[in-house]
């Protein structure tokens, strides 16, 4: 069996690996490291959790042991799709390079540009970055990529999903043509294959597992249920999730719960906490310091349930995750492979449970076609659904949004006791010879009817309140006669007679 000592690594690197407790390399490490030490381009295809990070970190440290970095010109570049994955690569570098004098800089969002500029100005051997922040520094004139000798692209298929491929192509063009490229991906989409054909030179292709396959150490289950009502689906899924976690008992030491949307991550986390579970959310909209603090708590065991979006589905090295729960079936079938790959790592056993409704049949079929197997169906546990909203529930919204909740509140300008007996107008008694209507006082001048008054009138109509109108009161001017008296009509026109 191959050991790390057989791979021609630097003695200082071997010492750090031994201190970390590793002796035997994984298949991807055993095959990729020799080619990387020879200076060849490497195309590695392996499922998540197989040790890809060490596959490029160990040979990179060995190759960079000779030489010296210059200001603003890093000697190697590692690109990662997310801040968490970039921070994890930086931690691996610190672990394996602690006996060397190599330096590094981490360029990710959520950190001050000034602090990162100071590190780059001193000169670094290894630059670990996300594509967007790297290009920000380059466009500000703070960074030169003409001295890059080794370039690493990690989780390339995730780069594709996040829309980073144009940035990756631009970064490739900014680096020297003579660089060595180490390219790693869990799946091989056509766009990824196009990039490798364009920017890699005669790469050593290493494939240690079938593309888009799941680990045999993961027990997969599918819980399919139909909600009782459409408006209760979200609440019943949360109740189902709680029942599944409870049913696992002490076997569920910790778990990652995946949701498709960031807003659902917050709601599910709040709901779990409201029901006594130790849970916290993590997604891209949270502050970077909060995200790192939450991950540290989860790694240390002080946090049991991590509710996450797909930002945590790739590359995070948390080896002791016992369970993964897919609260939502992922819309991209490849994400299913990466989600459940957070458990069952490093030879450990893991459990992956997916909650599905009839609306998920389309995505479920795509996932089973990708992994080339049917996910075993598990019995649906009994759930107790409480109609009363908990603190994690979304506010109830009707057809008109929040206005439905305020339907029973008094309208602006109305009295709060408007449902009391309706106010009626005093009836006027008809008279034989109507007198001229008295002029109202200034303070009694009628105002134009408001909408609130029209509402009252409509309620009065429904209550059969008599209405005073033209039939009950006739204005005085309508009773006047406009015909001339007969005596006046008989008198001759004096001017006409004179004429």
Query: pLDDT for 84-125, tens place per residue?
Result: 889 889 999 999 999 999 999 999 987 888 888 998 998 999
The conformation of residue 414, written as its DSSP 8-state character, comes to S
For the chain, percent of residues with pLDDT exceeding 90: 48
- Distance between CA 190 and CA 193 in Å, rounded? 5
Whole-number pLDDT of residue 497 = 43
In the structure, how many helices (H) and strands (E) does the chain have?
Answer: 17, 13
- Domains, in order of start, for the chain: 4-207 (3.40.50.300), 218-371 (3.40.50.300)
Q: What percent of the chain has pLDDT over 70?
A: 74
- Does residue 498 have a pLDDT over 50? no
Given pLDDT bands bounded at 50, 70 and 90, which one contains residue 356? very high
Instruction: Categorize the per-residue pLDDT at 309 as very low, low, confident or very high, splitting at 50, 70 and 90.
Output: confident
DSSP state of 275: T
Residues 401 and 407: their CA atoms lie apart, in Å, by 11
pLDDT score at 313: 56
Q: Which of 68-82, 130-144, 261-275, 431-445 has the lowest mean pLDDT?
A: 431-445
**Cβ proximity of 218 and 352 under 8 Å:** yes
pLDDT tier, 41 (very low <50, low <70, confident <90, very high otherwise): very high
Going by pLDDT thresholds of 50, 70 and 90, the confidence category of residue 131 is very high
Do 435 and 480 touch, CB atoms closer than 8 A?
no
The answer to whether 1 and 23 are in contact (CB under 8 A) is no
* Mean pLDDT for all residues in the chain: 81
Alpha-carbon distance of 339 to 327, in angstroms, equals 11
Distance separating alpha carbons of residues 346 and 430, to the nearest angstrom: 99
Is the pLDDT confidence value at 315 over 70?
Answer: no
Q: Which residues contact 374 (CB under 8 A, 6 or more apart)?
A: 368
Whether pLDDT at 266 is above 90: yes
pLDDT tens digits for 181-212?
Answer: 999 987 788 888 999 999 999 999 998 866 56
CA distance 130 to 168: 10
Which is it for the CA torsion 358, 360, 363, 369, positive or negative?
negative
């Amino acid at each position: 069996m191959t050991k790390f000592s057989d791979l021609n690594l630097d003695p200082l690197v071997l010492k750090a690996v031994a201190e970390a407790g590793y002796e035997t390399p994984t298949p991807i490490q055993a095959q990729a490291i020799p080619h990387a030490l020879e200076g060849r381009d490497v195309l590695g295809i392996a499922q998540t959790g197989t040790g890809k990070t060490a596959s490029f970190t160990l040979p990179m440290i060995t190759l960079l042991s000779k030489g010296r970095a210059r200001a603003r010109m890093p000697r190697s570049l590692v690109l990662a799709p997310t801040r968490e994955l970039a921070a994890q690569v930086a931690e691996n570098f610190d672990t394996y390079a602690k006996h060397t004098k190599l330096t590094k800089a981490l360029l990710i969002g959520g950190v001050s540009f000034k602090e990162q500029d100071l590190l780059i100005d001193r000169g670094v051997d290894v630059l670990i970055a996300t594509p967007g922040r790297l290009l920000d520094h380059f466009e500000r004139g703070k960074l030169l990529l003409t001295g890059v000798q080794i370039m690493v692209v990690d989780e390339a298929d995730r780069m594709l999903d996040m829309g980073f491929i144009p940035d990756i192509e631009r970064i490739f063009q900014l680096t020297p043509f003579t660089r060595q490229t180490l390219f790693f991906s869990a799946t091989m989409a056509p766009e990824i294959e196009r990039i490798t054909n364009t920017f890699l030179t005669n790469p050593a292709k290493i494939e240690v597992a079938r593309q888009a396959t799941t680990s045999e150490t993961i027990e997969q289950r599918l819980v399919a249920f139909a909600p009782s009502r459409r408006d209760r689906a979200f609440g019943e899924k949360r109740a189902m999730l709680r029942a599944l976690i409870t049913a696992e008992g002490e076997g569920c030491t910790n778990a990652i719960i995946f949701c498709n949307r960031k807003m659902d991550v917050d709601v599910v986390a709040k709901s779990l906490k409201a029901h006594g579970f130790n849970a916290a959310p993590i997604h891209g909209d949270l502050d970077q310091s909060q995200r790192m603090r939450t991950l540290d708590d989860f790694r240390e065991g002080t946090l049991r349930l991590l509710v996450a979006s797909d930002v945590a589905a790739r590359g995070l090295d948390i080896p002791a995750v016992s369970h993964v729960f897919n609260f939502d079936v992922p819309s991209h079938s490849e994400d299913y492979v990466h989600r459940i790959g957070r458990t069952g790592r490093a030879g450990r056993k893991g459990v992956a449970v997916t909650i599905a409704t009839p609306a998920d049949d389309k995505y479920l079929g795509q996932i089973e076609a990708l992994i080339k197997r049917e996910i075993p169906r598990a019995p649906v546990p009994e759930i107790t659904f409480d109609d009363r909203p908990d603190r994690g529930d979304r506010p109830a919204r009707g057809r008109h949004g929040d206005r439905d909740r305020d339907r029973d509140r008094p309208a602006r300008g109305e009295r709060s006791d408007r449902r009391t007996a309706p106010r009626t107008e005093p009836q006027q008694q008809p008279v034989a010879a109507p007198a001229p209507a008295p002029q109202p006082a200034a303070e009694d001048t009628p105002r134009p009817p408001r909408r609130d008054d029209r509402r009252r009138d409509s309620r009065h109509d429904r209550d059969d309140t008599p209405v005073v109108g033209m039939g009950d009161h006739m204005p005085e001017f309508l009773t006047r006669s406009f015909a001339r008296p007969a005596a006046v009509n008989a008198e001759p026109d004096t001017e006409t007679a004179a004429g």
